[in-house]
Structure 1
Amino acid sequence: MSTSICEPPLATAFLTTRYPTGSPVNWSFADMKLGLSLYSFGADFHAGKIDVYQAIRKAAEMGCDGVEIIAEQHIPGWPNPNLDVLKAIRELVTSLEMEIFCFSCYFGTNIRSDRPQTFEEMVDNAKRMIALTSYLGAPIMRPAFNAEPVGQLIDFVNAVLPTLEEYGVIWGVELHAPHPPSYYQEALETVESPWFRLVPDFSCWQGPNAPGQIQTNDLSTFEPLLKYTVHCHAKAHMFDANGEEPNTPYKELLGMLKDYGFEGSVAGEYEGWIIAYQPSEQPTKVLFDLLERYGR
C-alpha cells in the first residue's frame, strides 16, 4: 500500500538500519567521497530527455561514489511525493553501490500564495523535510533558505535541533557567493551542534571572471571552515581544453580538504547549462574526471 506522507515512524525505522541516531559521527564515509549533484544534468531534465532514475544510473556509470538530489527538481510528485517513489530512488542508489550524499530542498516564507508562512509553519515544514531526508537515507539535508539576518537562521535551527537528532540528519547550511566565507561563522558557533554544519560552495573562491562573481576571496578563508564542513558543492561553469575549470581552483580546494583529512562528500555541480544549452553527458563526465584528478 502506498502513501504520500512521510510519517516520522517510517523514516525512523529506515534510519536506524543505516544511520543510528544520537551519533552524527556514524554517517562519516571514512574517506572523502566524490560524486555529482543531479543539478548538473539540468539541461537534460529541462528538455525532458532524462529522469531521476536515468540520471542516477549515469552517475554510477561514471564511477561516482554518490549523488545529491534536489527535491523540487528531481523527486516525482513533489511537494507530496509517494513513499514508494522515495523507496525506489533509495533502493536504486543502494543497488548501484552509491550513497545519497545530500538531500536539497527549499525553505521560505513564500510557500503559500495567499500569505507568507508563519515561523511555526516553517518549522513544521522543516520537520517534514527532515523525515523525508532520513527516509531517503541521506545523512545531510541542505535547505536553501534566505538566512538574512543570520539570527533568524539561528532561531530556526534551534527550533528543529531535537528533530534533527531524532532522525540522525545533519542540517548543512550552504555557503554560496556572494556571501563572504565568514557569513555563517556566528550561527555555527552559537548553535554549536554536530547536527548543524556547513556546505561550502566553491563559488566563494572562484576567480573574478566567473559568471556572476562579485568579489574574490583568498583561499586561506576556507581553512577555518573545514572543521564545520560535511559536504561541498564543487561549482563549475565551463572547462578548457585540458578539462580544467578556469575560474575555480579545484586543485587547491580539494587539496585543502585532503590535507585536513576530510571524511565527508564533494558533489560536482555543473551550471554551464544555465548559460547555454548543452547535453549533459559530456560536461558532467569532464567535471567528475576533474574531481577525481585532484580529489583521490
Structure 2
Amino acid sequence: MNTKINSKLKAIGMFVLLFIVVQACKKQVKSTETNSGEAAQVAAPFFKLSLAQWSLHKYVNEEKGSPFNFASQAKEMGFEGLEYVNHLYAKEIEALGFETVIDSLQTLSTKYGLQNVLIMIDGEGDLASPDVAVRDQAVENHKKWVDAAQKLGCHSIRVNTFGTNDPALWVPSVVDGLQKLSIYAATKNINVLCENHGWLSSDVPVLMDAIAKVNMENCGTLPDFGNWCVKRKDGAIWGDCLEEYSDKYKGIEMMLTKAKAVSAKAYDFDANGNETTLDFPRIIQLVKNAGYTGYIGVEYEGDRLSEQEGISAIRDLLLKSAKGVQ
C-alpha cells in the first residue's frame, strides 16, 4: 500500500515539476519576444526610407542601364519607397508610349512590394514664367504627370519654379501657376510640391510667401538638404554658384511647416561617415521637431563614391542620426 502511494506521489511530483518547467519556458520565450519587439521598436526610425531615382542617374545616362530596374535596385538596397525622375524615362516613353511606361512602373513596384511615393518633374515647362501663355502651357504639360502619379499611387509630384530672379515678378507668377496646377491635382488627390531647387525657390522666405498666397492644402514643400544656390554665374539655372541662401538650417525648418516630402541630399562623407558640408543630426532633429513621419528620400549627388556606395552612406547616416534625436 505504501509503495503504491509513494509511486503516485512521485508521479504527481514529476507532473508538477514538468508543469513548472513548461511555464517557465513559456515566460522566457514571451520575455524574449517582448524584448526583441522592444529592440526592433527602438531601432526603427521615426520616418520611412525611399530612394530618389536621381541617385542612379549615372547608371541610366552614362552606363545606359534601364530605368525599369529602379524598383529591383531599391528593393535590393533595403528601401521601402520609390521617388521617380520623369526625364530618365524619356527614351522609353518615346519608344513604348506614356501609358505603357506608367503601367510597367506600377507592375514593377507591385512585384517588389514597394510604395510609389512621388514623381520629380523636369522639362515640362516653367510654372513660374512671367509670360502667362508659357505658364499655362506648363500647367497643361504637367497634368499627365498628375494623372500618372495617381495611377501609381504616389501622393505628390515635385515641380520646378525658376521663372525669374525678380521677386516682384516671380511671386505673382508662381502663385498663379501653382494654383492652376494644384486645382487640377486636387481632383486626383495629388499634392504639388515645391523644392528648394535653385534661384528664388531656394530663397526660403520668398518661397514660403508664395506657398502662403497659393493657400491650398495640396500645395506644399519638399525641403532638400542641399540646393541652396540662389544665384549662378551668368544667370544660369545650373552651374557655378555665386551666392547661397544664408541659413540652410533655418530654411529647412521653415519649409518643414508645409512639407509633404523630404529629400536627404548628400555629396561626400568623412572617415566617420558624416556628410562633409551638412549637419545631418541637426537636420534630422529639425525634421522630428516638425512632426514629420513620412518618407525621407535618399538622394546622392557626389562624385567620389559610386552611386550605390553613396546611397548606402546616406541611408546609414540617416539611421545613425535618427538614433540621436530627442
2:68 matched residue in structure 1: 53
- Aligned pair count reads 254
Aligned pairs for 1:14-29 within 5 A: none
SS at structure 1 position matched to 2:121: strand
CA distance in 2, matches of 1:243, 1:33: 20
What SS class does the counterpart of residue 120 from structure 2 fall into?
Answer: strand
Q: Is the 8 A contact 1:102 1:141 kept in 2?
A: yes
Q: TM-score, normalised by structure 1?
A: 0.76
Alignment CA distance shift 1:124-1:204 (3 Å): closer
1:214 aligns with 2:250: no
Whole-Å separation in 1 of the counterparts to 2:81 and 2:242: 28
Q: Following the alignment from structure 1 to structure 2, what is the Cα–Cα distance between the partners of residues 55 and 161?
A: 28
Change (3 A) 1:194 1:237: same
2:148 paired residue among 132, 153, 167 = 132
Is 2:309 the partner of 1:292?
no
Q: 1:118 Cα shift?
A: 3.4
- Greater RCO (Cα-Cα under 8 Å, separation 6 or more): 1
Aligned 8 A contact 2:256 2:290 in 1: yes
> Does the aligned pair in 2 maintain the 1:37–1:69 contact within 8 Å?
yes
CA deviations 1:165-201 (Å, max 9, x no partner) are: 1111100011135622223111111111111000111
1:242 maps onto 2:272 in alignment: yes
Note if contact 1:34-1:295 (Cα within 8 Å) is conserved in structure 2: no
Match of 2:291 in 1: 261
Confirm or deny: 8 A CA contact 2:300 2:307 kept in the other structure. no
Q: For 1:235, what is the secondary structure of its paired residue?
A: strand
Q: For the Cα contact (< 8 Å) 1:43–1:279, is it kept in 2? A: no
CA contact (8 A) 1:237 1:270 kept: yes
Gaps of 5+ in 2: 1-45, 165-169, 230-239
Correspondence for 1:82:
98
> Counterpart of 1:108?
125
**2:49/2:80 contact within 8 Å kept:** yes
State the TM-score, normalized to the length of structure 2.
0.70
Structure 1 CA distance, aligned partners of 2:248 and 2:307? 31
The residue that corresponds to 2:111 in the other structure is 95
Using the alignment, how far apart are the partners of 1:228 and 1:109 within structure 2? 22
Q: Which residue of 2 aligns with 1:68?
A: 83
Higher relative helix content: 2
Structure showing greater radius of gyration is 2
Query: Percent identity among equivalent residues?
Result: 20
Deviation at 1:67, TM superposition (A): 2.0
Secondary structure of 1:284's aligned partner = helix
Ranges in structure 1 where 5+ consecutive residues have no aligned partner: 1-30, 111-115
With 168-177 and 278-287 compared, the bigger mean Cα shift is at: 278-287
- What is the CA distance between 1:164 and its match in structure 2? 0.9
What's the RMSD between the two structures over aligned residues? 2.7
- The alpha-carbon distance between structure 1 residues 77 and 54, as it changes in their structure 2 partners (threshold 3 A), is closer
> Counterpart in 2 of 1:113?
none
